[in-house]
Amino acid sequence: MGKLISEKTKQVFLGPLSKNNPIGVQVLGICSALAVTANLKPALVMGISVTVIVAFSNVIISLLRNTIPNRIRIIVQLVVVAALVTVVSEVLKAYAYDVSVKLSVYIGLIITNCILMGRLEAFAMANKPWESFVDGLGNGLGYAVILVIVGFFREIFGAGSLLGFRIIPQSFYDAGYSNNGLMMMPPMALIIIAVIIWIHRSLNKELQE
């Protein structure tokens, strides 16, 4: 390992951002992606939290990978993740209370977010800590990107604002424009993700089924 960022590490990092995106291609971690994206801010916080947790749990499991007995590895992984999630949840409660109220149970549900178990099983159990860290970072960011896109569209069309600031000017409303309330409803999140997948797969023909 001469250079800190070798060719393989770069691949590990960039893959999940597009060609191997956790949501669009691997179909992992959909639950929270849909539920927290009605506004941009919780989506952003969720994306960051998941990135931090995936990266660090990947490192911890990777360090322990030779000592974990195979039969109980799922429980060990769950406990490591649960401990990290508890830390993140307490930090959010202390520094961003309103967001943590909005995210409610979905912060706890990061524990069962399939991205975590998927990456721990598929990558951290077989790779060195540094690569696992990069892999976690890449997958977390790939997840965050989709969340931010969905949150962006839902907030701008559903509430006419971004991060709470009004974007669509008052004169539009005076002229008869109105917010699309349906965007705030859960089903629209599914449709937006479907459209993202549609565009993504039209551009990358090899991903089509």
The residues binding other proteins (CB under 8 A) are 24, 27-32, 34-35, 74-75, 78-79, 82-83, 85-86, 89-90, 104-105, 108-109, 111-114, 117, 185-191, 193-194, 197-202, 208-209
Asked if 142 and 14 touch (Cβ cutoff 8 Å), the reply is no
Q: Which is nearer to other proteins, 9 or 49 (CB)?
A: 49
Q: What secondary structure does DSSP assign to 53-88, as a single string?
A: HHHHHHHHHHHHTTTS-GGGHHHHHHHHHHHHHHHH
Closer CB to other proteins, 68 or 82, in the complex: 82
Q: How far is CA 164 from CA 93, 141, 167, 198, 207, in A?
A: 20, 23, 9, 29, 36
Min separation Cβ 184 and other proteins, Å = 12
Nearest to 173 by CA among 183, 161, 155, 185: 161
Min dist CB 137 to other proteins, Å, is: 21
Identity of the residue, 91 or 167, whose beta carbon is nearer to other proteins in the bound complex? 91
Closer of 134 and 188 to other proteins (Cβ): 188
